[in-house]
C-alpha cells in the first residue's frame, strides 16, 4: 500500500505516547496500584512500559498478576488516575500545529486510544485540544473493548468507506498491527523514544521523529 498524503482524509491518532507525554501520570498511577496490591513498586522510569498497552495485559505481563488480580490493580490505578494522574501530562512538540493543519486542509482528526473514552476526553480538554477532533474512540472500562484492533475498528465507523483515505498514527507496535488488522496504512512516531525498531518490525509504512516532521508531509 502506498502512503499518498493528498489522498488521506481521515487521520486516526493514538493518545498516550503519541499525542501526549502521559508517562508521569501513568507511572505514578501504576506505582499506587502496585502498592495497593502489596507489591513494592520499582522506580517510575521502569514503569514506562505501561504507557500505551491495555493495563490488564501489562499487570499480567510485567508482574505476573492473575486475571482477577489484574482487574483489582486496574481499579486501584483508576482510583488514583482519575483524581491526579490524568492531569499529569503534556502535548508533544508540534502536535497542536499538526492538528490545526489537518483541520485547515479539510481532513479529519479521529482519536483511537486504549485509554477509556471519558479519560481521553478529559485529558484532551485539559490540554485544550479536544475541539480539534472530529471523533473520539477509546476503550471501555471493562476488558470487553480494550484491544487496539477493536478500538481502531470502532474509530473507522466515523470515517468513509474507502480505506485508502485513512491512516493510523501511533508510537507502539499495537497501533501499527491494529491498523494492519483493519486494512489501513500506518505511521509510527518516535517522540524521542527508542521505539524505532519496534515500529519497523511491526511494519509501519512511514516512521517520523515527531509531529513537526509529520507536518512537513502534510504541507
- Per-residue model confidence (pLDDT) at position 3: 84
Q: Is residue 130 part of a domain?
A: yes
State the Cα–Cα distance between residues 38 and 207, nearest whole angstrom.
40
Of these residues, 14, 21, 150, 175, which one is catalytic?
Answer: 14
Cell triple for 95: 502536535
Tell which wins on pLDDT, 219 or 87.
Answer: 87
Q: Are residues 161 and 58 in the same domain?
A: no
1: pLDDT strictly greater than 60 = no
Q: Residue 75 CB: number of other CB atoms within 10 A?
A: 12
Q: Is residue 3 part of a domain?
A: no
Q: Are residues 127 and 194 in the same domain?
A: yes
Q: Label residue 96 exposed, middle or buried (CB < 10 Å: 0-12, 13-18, 19+).
A: middle
Q: Residue 215 CB: number of other CB atoms within 10 A?
A: 18
Q: Is residue 53 part of a domain?
A: yes
Which CATH number belongs to the domain containing residue 58 in this structure?
1.10.150.240
Note if 57 is an active site residue. no
Q: Are residues 102 and 201 in the same domain?
A: yes
**pTM score of the predicted model:** 0.91
Q: Are residues 65 and 134 in the same domain?
A: no
Cell triple for 103: 483541520
Q: Which CA distances in Å does 24 have to 1, 50, 114, 147, 218?
A: 37, 11, 17, 23, 30
Q: Label residue 163 exposed, middle or buried (CB < 10 Å: 0-12, 13-18, 19+).
A: middle
Q: Is residue 28 part of a domain?
A: yes
Q: How many domains does the chain have?
A: 2
The number of residues making up the chain comes to 219
- 152 and 168 Cβ atoms separated by less than 8 Å: yes
Structure letter (DSSP) for residue 92? P
Question: Where does the pLDDT of residue 52 fall: very low under 50, low under 70, confident under 90, or very high at 90 and above?
Answer: confident
**For the segment 136-194, what is each residue's pLDDT rounded down to a tens digit?**
999 988 766 678 999 999 999 999 999 999 999 999 999 999 999 999 999 999 999 99
Q: Is residue 209 part of a domain?
A: yes
- 120 and 130 Cβ atoms separated by less than 8 Å: no
Q: Which domain holds residue 37?
A: 23-87
Q: Single out the residue in 46, 72, 87 at which a domain terminates.
A: 87
Q: Is residue 2 part of a domain?
A: no
Q: Are residues 127 and 193 in the same domain?
A: yes
36: pLDDT strictly greater than 80 = yes
Q: Considering the chain, what percentage of its residues have pLDDT values greater than 70?
A: 98
Q: Is residue 4 part of a domain?
A: no
Which CATH number belongs to the domain containing residue 168 in this structure?
3.40.50.1000
Amino acid at each position: 500500500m502506498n502512503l499518498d498524503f493528498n489522498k488521506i482524509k481521515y487521520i486516526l491518532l493514538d493518545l498516550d505516547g503519541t499525542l501526549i507525554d502521559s508517562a508521569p501520570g501513568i507511572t505514578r498511577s501504576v506505582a499506587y496500584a502496585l502498592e495497593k496490591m502489596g507489591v513494592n513498586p520499582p522506580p517510575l522510569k521502569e514503569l514506562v512500559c505501561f504507557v500505551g498497552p491495555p493495563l490488564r495485559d501489562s499487570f499480567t505481563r510485567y508482574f505476573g498478576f492473575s486475571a482477577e488480580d489484574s482487574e483489582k490493580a486496574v481499579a486501584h490505578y483508576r482510583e488514583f488516575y482519575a483524581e491526579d494522574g490524568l492531569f499529569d501530562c503534556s502535548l508533544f512538540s508540534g502536535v497542536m500545529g499538526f492538528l490545526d493543519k489537518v483541520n485547515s486542509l479539510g481532513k479529519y482528526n479521529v482519536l483511537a486510544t486504549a485509554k477509556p473514552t471519558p479519560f481521553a476526553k478529559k485529558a484532551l480538554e485539559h490540554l485544550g485540544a479536544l475541539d480539534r477532533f472530529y471523533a473520539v474512540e477509546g476503550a471501555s472500562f471493562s476488558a470487553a473493548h480494550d484491544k487496539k484492533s477493536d478500538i481502531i475498528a470502532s474509530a473507522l465507523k466515523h470515517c468513509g468507506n474507502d480505506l485508502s483515505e485513512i491512516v493510523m498514527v501511533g508510537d507502539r507496535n499495537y497501533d501499527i498491527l491494529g491498523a494492519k488488522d483493519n486494512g489501513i496504512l500506518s505511521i509510527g512516531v518516535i517522540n524521542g523514544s527508542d521505539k524505532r525498531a519496534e515500529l519497523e518490525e511491526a511494519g509501519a509504512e512511514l516512521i517520523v521523529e515527531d509531529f513537526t516532521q509529520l507536518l512537513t508531509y502534510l504541507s
